[in-house]
């Protein structure tokens, strides 16, 4: 474990909790309205967005080609950055976890994960989570509030500021704290900024929203955002899923799979199913066989994730042999199944672990 020294010295955003809007989550049209209302011309919006998203500056003062009077007015009206980096930890495997304090003092986490030739950034959509999945520390802490669009976008801007330039962050996954589809308006607005070519310009093919199975949210997500969908499945039967993920009582597996079977996927795209394997609970051969039947007919891949143990829990990761057998059964049913070993174990990179330490 390595503590990244300079992060501890980052200053708090100078604003306190405020009803002001934040500049990082304004659409281009909203920013133009703001600028025009100040008597300036609309092309300034392009210049400001370039400073904000491409050059990733830290204050209005750094926007050198913007008239000083406009910068001063914008500063009075809009928030700039809203996250304060409390701590960052880098794992031996290169995974880096960021703990951010929001303006109301609550804490969230983002995790930067090195892949072969790029970086994936895992971001949070809520403070805490109401879903209560039995294997997840975030769920144990309960739900505090939704993140605003700018608190979501600012995670990306802040991490980009601290991350090495190479390899680049190309992939964004909404798999941090919270259930993104219960913060649908916030997530959709943030995603629009993430994939806007004039803003953060991520490919929509490289943005993934992960859900525990909120059916109304899935239906809404399918209406045009065109990002990837991941569904946390974790069990192949109603009773077992309700035990592992209480949300299954509200949105049962049968209805969920019927919804996913009709999900409007673009050519070549697949749904990702996440399956956390827990020893002797959902990792038996019969579970793999039922899972194979359940997902058959849906263009998909299955990510098999050995449980990341959390302190104070009796749940254990699967034996290596059981994990291999599980994967083999899916292979034999012609289902793409990839084992995703947890990264960053030495820095408590599982969702909610670091914030838990700070008393979230
Ligand atoms: S796994 Fe995801 S949906 Fe379940 S409790 Fe944790 S954060 Fe919430």
Domain range summary for the chain, segments of one domain joined by +: 22-79, 84-357
Nearest-10 crossing angle of helices 285-295, 320-332: 30
Å from CA of 359 to ligand 1 middle: 18
Could you read off the pLDDT of 104-124 as tens digits, one per residue? 999 999 999 998 899 999 999
Q: How confident is the model at residue 348 (pLDDT cuts 50, 70, 90)?
A: low
Which of 133, 210, 217, 310, when mutated, tests ligand 1's pocket best, judged by the most ligand atoms within 8 Å of its CB? Answer: 133
C-alpha closest to that of 54 among 157, 152, 148, 147: 157
335 touches ligand 1 (CB under 6 Å): no
Which atom, in ligand 1's list, is nearest to the CA of 212?
Answer: 3
Task: Name which residue sits closest to atom 5 of ligand 1, judged by CA.
Answer: 139
Distance CA 118, CA 95 (A): 12
Å from CA of 139 to ligand 1 middle: 5
Q: How confident is the model at residue 309 (pLDDT cuts 50, 70, 90)?
A: confident
310 touches ligand 1 (CB under 6 Å): no
pLDDT of residue 163: 87
178 touches ligand 1 (CB under 6 Å): yes
> CA of 189: how far to CAs of 94, 196, 222, 247, 334, in Å?
30, 11, 15, 25, 37
Could you read off the pLDDT of 185-236 as tens digits, one per residue? 999 999 999 999 999 999 999 999 999 999 999 999 998 888 999 999 999 9
Mean pLDDT check: name the lowest of 19-23, 66-70, 226-230, 261-265: 19-23
**3-class DSSP assignment, residue 225:** coil
213 touches ligand 1 (CB under 6 Å): no
> What's the rounded mean pLDDT across residues 143-170?
94
Distance CA 113, CA 319 (A): 25
> What's the rounded mean pLDDT across residues 68-87?
95
pLDDT of residue 7: 33
Q: How far is CA 272 from the centre of its chain?
A: 15
- Is 255 an active-site residue? no
- Is 321 an active-site residue? no
237 has a pLDDT exceeding 60: yes
CATH number of 84-357: 3.20.20.70
Q: What percent of the chain has pLDDT over 70?
A: 90
Catalytic residue among 34, 73, 101, 109: 109
Task: Name which residue sits closest to atom 4 of ligand 1, judged by CA.
Answer: 133
136 touches ligand 1 (CB under 6 Å): yes
Matching CATH number, 22-79, of 1.10.150.530, 3.40.1000.10, 3.30.70.250, 3.20.20.70: 1.10.150.530
Helices (H), the chain: 28-37, 44-49, 68-77, 137-140, 149-162, 184-195, 215-221, 238-244, 253-261, 285-295, 320-332, 353-357
pLDDT of residue 105: 96
Q: How confident is the model at residue 271 (pLDDT cuts 50, 70, 90)?
A: very high
Distance CA 253, CA 17 (A): 40
Which atom, in ligand 1's list, is nearest to the CA of 126?
Answer: 7
Which of 111, 132, 139, when mutated, tests ligand 1's pocket best, judged by the most ligand atoms within 8 Å of its CB? Answer: 139
Distance CA 232, CA 275 (A): 6
177 touches ligand 1 (CB under 6 Å): yes
44 has a pLDDT exceeding 90: yes
Å from CA of 15 to ligand 1 middle: 31
How crowded is the C-beta side of 270, counted as CA atoms within 13 Å?
15
* Average pLDDT of the chain, as a whole number: 90
Q: How confident is the model at residue 138 (pLDDT cuts 50, 70, 90)?
A: confident
277, burial (CB in 10 Å: exposed 0-12, middle 13-18, buried 19+): buried
C-alpha closest to that of 241 among 254, 223, 229, 228: 254
For 239-271, b where at least 16 C-beta lie within 10 A, e where not — what string? ebbbebbbbbeebbbeebbebbeebebeeeeeb
Decide: 249 and 289 in contact? Cβ < 8 Å. no
Distance CA 256, CA 238 (A): 11
């Amino acid at each position: 474990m390595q503590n990244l020294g300079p992060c501890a010295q980052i200053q708090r955003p100078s604003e306190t909790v405020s009803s002001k809007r934040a500049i990082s989550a304004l659409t281009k049209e909203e920013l133009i309205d703001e600028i025009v209302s100040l008597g300036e011309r609309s092309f300034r919006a392009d210049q400001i967005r370039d400073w904000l998203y491409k050059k990733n500056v830290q204050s209005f003062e750094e926007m050198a080609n913007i008239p000083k009077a406009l910068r001063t007015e914008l500063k009075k009206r809009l928030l700039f950055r809203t996250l304060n980096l409390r701590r960052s930890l880098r794992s031996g495997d290169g995974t880096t976890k960021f703990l951010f304090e929001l303006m109301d003092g609550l804490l969230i986490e983002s995790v930067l994960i090195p892949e072969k030739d790029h970086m994936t950034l895992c971001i949070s959509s809520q403070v805490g989570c109401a879903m209560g999945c039995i294997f997840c520390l975030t769920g144990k802490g309960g739900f505090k509030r939704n993140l605003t669009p700018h608190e979501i976008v600012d995670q990306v801007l802040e991490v980009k500021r601290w991350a090495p330039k190479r390899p680049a962050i190309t992939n964004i996954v909404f798999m941090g704290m919270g259930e993104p589809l219960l913060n649908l308006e916030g997530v959709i607005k943030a995603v629009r900024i993430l994939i806007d070519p004039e803003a953060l310009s991520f490919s929509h093919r490289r943005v993934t929203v992960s859900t525990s199975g909120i059916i109304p949210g899935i239906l809404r997500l399918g209406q045009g955002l065109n990002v990837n969908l991941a569904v946390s499945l974790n069990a192949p039967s109603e009773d077992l899923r309700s035990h592992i993920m209480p949300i299954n009582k509200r949105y049962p597996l049968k209805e969920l799979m019927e919804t996913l079977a009709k999900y409007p996927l673009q050519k070549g795209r697949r749904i990702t199913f996440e399956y956390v394997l827990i020893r002797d609970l959902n990792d038996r051969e019969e579970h793999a066989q039922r899972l194979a039947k359940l997902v058959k007919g849906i263009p998909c891949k299955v990510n098999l994730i050995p449980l990341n143990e959390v302190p104070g829990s009796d749940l254990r990761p699967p034996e290596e042999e059981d994990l291999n057998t599980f994967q083999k059964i899916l292979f034999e049913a012609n289902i793409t199944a990839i084992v995703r070993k947890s990264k960053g174990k030495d820095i408590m990179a599982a969702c909610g672990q670091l914030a838990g330490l700070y008393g979230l």
